[in-house]
Amino acid sequence: MMRISTSGTPRWMLGTAVCGVLITGCSSGGDGGDAKPQAKPAAEAKPLAAGALRSLLLTQADLGSGYAQAQEEPGEEKFDDISVQGCPALEKLGQSGEENMFAAKAEASFTYDRDATLGEEVHSDRPSVLSSKLRELFDAYTSCPTYTMTSGTTPIEVKVSKSVPPKLGDEQFAYTSTMELPSGAQVLKTMAVRKGNVAVMLVGAPALVDRHIETAVGKLPAGS
């Protein structure tokens, strides 16, 4: 059994696992031919500061009527008692969790019509780091079609399927999770889009994620 640390995995991904669901660098090799002068690779864009990311988050004005922003108490740790069984890739991901997955982040969460949820995180890092870590994260979460998530002493059966994201930004990732909760099945979609050195992630009711992902990506800097 693997215990997931909230310090190594985005908070909203763990939150969705309880409410109803969420590193390696790139490497390159060369052939053994004659050594030739090579142009110096272009420098990668540096991460943005966390303060700059906050202005990129969705707001109630962006979302429209019916949404309320959820407030979280500083230092609140809601998901320390989450564990996963039956998915080796997720176990490995949890065991190798880093204190900070990306260089900077900002986050917000909303409720819609009182019972639907939409969570957002905006992350920044060097483009190669964002790309490799997002790919590893989504590969892990889609590697097992079923697994068991335990919240405290309550086992939750989870079914996962890959989803087709819209062609936005430089890279896109998406999957849909169905949780068998005591109150009934709940379906959530997780989607991420990377644009240069910034990535936006949405998770929540599938219709809400699909409705707002284009707006969320549209708030990212054009030159990021």
Q: Per CATH, which fold does 2-23+48-218 belong to? A: Protein Transport Mog1p; Chain A (3.40.1000)
Cα separations in angstroms, 55 against 51, 76, 220: 8, 23, 9
Distance CA 58, CA 187 (A): 22
Phi, then psi, of 53 in degrees rounded to 5: -75, -30
* Closest by CA position to 103, among listed 138, 153, 148, 51: 51
Environment class of residue 89 by beta-carbon count within 10 Å: exposed (0-12), middle (13-18) or buried (19+)? middle
Q: Which residue has the tokens 């920044």?
A: 124
Distance CA 123, CA 46 (A): 12
Provide the residue-wise pLDDT of the chain in tens; the chain has 224 residues: 433 333 334 444 444 443 333 322 222 233 444 445 554 556 789 999 999 999 999 999 999 999 999 876 544 445 556 788 899 988 887 766 544 579 999 999 999 987 889 999 999 999 999 999 999 999 999 999 999 988 778 888 999 999 999 999 999 999 999 998 888 899 999 999 999 999 999 999 999 999 999 999 999 997 65
**Domain boundary assignment for the chain:** 2-23+48-218
